Amino acid sequence: MIEIHAKSSLHGEVTIPGDKSISHRSIMFGSISDGMTEVTHFLEGADCLSTIACFQNMGIAIERDHDTIRIHGKGLHGLTAPAQTLDVGNSGTTTRLISGILAGQDFSSVLDGDASIESRPMNRIITPLTRMGADITNENGNGCAPLTIHGKKLKGIHYDSPVASAQVKSCVLLAGLYADGETSVTEPVLSRNHTELMLSAFGADISSHGTTASIQPEPVLSGQKIEVPGDISSAAYFIAAGLIVPNSEVLIKNVGINPTRDGILRVADAMGGNIERLNCRTVSGEPVCDLLVRTSSLHGTTIEGEIIPTLIDELPVIAVMAAFADGTTTIRDAAELKVKESNRIDTVTENLLAMGGDVTPAEDGMIIRGGRALHPAQIHSHLDHRIAMSFAVAALACGGSCEIEDGECVNISYPEFYHDLNRL
């Protein structure tokens, strides 16, 4: 149980830990490259540690010195059969991306994780991988983990993905490394493009045109030095807190602002948020800046269409911002919220209602009528790290104290979250 007390202001600076998506990929791509990959500012969250453990179980030597990681890659065909089930913990990214790699190996493997993972949809990767010739069974027949993957020689395909999901896109592209010809994926709307940027830096022949990414098989990948930029999905909690807690000024340092991830900044601008972008630079091929956030009087907005994949993980905390804004905020086209670590349409609605918010859930989003003062309540995280952090932010501005049940689950993506928040 974590207790959060309302604050009359927040001041100071916070340096954001490494990006979760880029940290996962650095381990995976480093493992299947030749030579050493050195990763600095790696995110030491439980999800990324699950990815490390999976590759260690397949014979990859990975050394860890705090947030610096050294991966002794063994090339595209250097993984060995794991002696035990690969434990993906709570991590959807690990499960879906690693499946693409495992589908093309010359061994069999089993993937499993916690109760949340065992209820998240995996047919979205089983379908395209099976078209490529993969042999995957889901043990419980419900389209979820545990998954048994018998590695096969794969065929290159073109896949029209029904969902805008970087996990699906990345899974298919990674399987494409082991195919007999070109593999391409078209998504309905562009999702985060870290796989395309990073695989290219490792030496893959990969190209992107609009919402289609294409990859050639059997490249020689070479180890890289990667400095992981700060995770905008973690910065989001400090952005929201700086905007809604009165009399606040917060400098958020080292935030990755890749345009496929920066939707929260565009929404904050549209809501009247005062955010200055400072010290803009490029780190390991990714745009990065510092953000100076000041308390702002926010107003409602509509969030729909192409922006959704660029802020999908930030929607819970954007919903909290909306509850503190004047007027109505409508979120549409975000049915993906239902298949995250929790059903985030339900878990956001439940907790906002508990705090006295005015919210109506919908099939693909929610409508939040802001401007009501929220009051303290018992928060149910449902073991979802983003729900715990979003409602920690709401608690800071609710005029009392809130308890967050299982609030320790922030460990998944931001182990130092409460410590960093306390420093403000």
Indicate whether 336 belongs to the interface with ligand S3P (CB under 6 A): yes
Phi, psi for 281 (deg, rounded to 5) = -155, 180
Q: Which residues are designated catalytic?
A: 313
DSSP string, 357-393: -EEEEETTEEEEE--SPP---EEE-TT-HHHHHHHHH
What is the C-alpha to C-alpha distance for residues 217 and 133, in angstroms, rounded to an integer? Answer: 15
Give me the least distance between CB of 312 and ligand S3P, in Å please.
Answer: 5
What is the C-alpha to C-alpha distance for residues 95 and 146, in angstroms, rounded to an integer? Answer: 10
Q: Which residues within the stretch 39-58 sit at the binding site for ligand S3P (CB under 6 A)?
A: none
Q: Report the residue number, 336 or 350, with the smaller CB distance to ligand S3P.
A: 336
Give me the least distance between CB of 167 and ligand S3P, in Å please.
Answer: 4
Rounded to the nearest 10°, the torsion over CA 299, 303, 307, 309 is 120
Binding region for ligand S3P (CB under 6 A) out of 2-10, 160-168, 235-243, 319-327: 160-168
Pick from 313, 314, 384, 420 the residue near ligand S3P by CB under 6 A: 313
Instruction: Give the SS3 label for residue 88.
Output: strand
Give me the least distance between CB of 275 and ligand S3P, in Å please.
Answer: 22
Is 21 known as a binding-site position?
Answer: yes
Q: Which residues within the stretch 164-193 sit at the binding site for ligand S3P (CB under 6 A)?
A: 165-167, 170, 191-192
Indicate whether 93 belongs to the interface with ligand S3P (CB under 6 A): yes
What is the C-alpha to C-alpha distance for residues 355 and 173, in angstroms, rounded to an integer? Answer: 43
Indicate whether 349 belongs to the interface with ligand S3P (CB under 6 A): no
Q: Report the residue number, 335 or 353, with the smaller CB distance to ligand S3P.
A: 335
The two structure tokens encoding residue 400: 């009392």
Is 167 known as a binding-site position?
Answer: yes
Q: From the CA atom positions of the chain, what is the Rg in Å? A: 21
Residue corresponding to tokens 């010739």: 133
Give me the least distance between CB of 38 and ligand S3P, in Å please.
Answer: 21
Binding region for ligand S3P (CB under 6 A) out of 59-67, 159-167, 260-268, 289-297: 159-167
Listed as own residue / partner, the contacts of 349-354 with beta carbons closer than 8 Å and 24 or more positions apart are 350/380, 351/377, 351/379, 351/380, 351/387, 351/391, 351/394, 352/319, 352/320, 352/323, 352/394, 354/378, 354/379, 354/380
Give me the least distance between CB of 360 and ligand S3P, in Å please.
Answer: 24
Q: Report the residue number, 312 or 322, with the smaller CB distance to ligand S3P.
A: 312
Binding positions for 3-phosphoshikimate are 20-21, 25, 165, 167, 313, 340
Residues forming contacts to ligand S3P in the complex (CB under 6 A) are 21, 93, 165-167, 170, 191-192, 312-313, 336
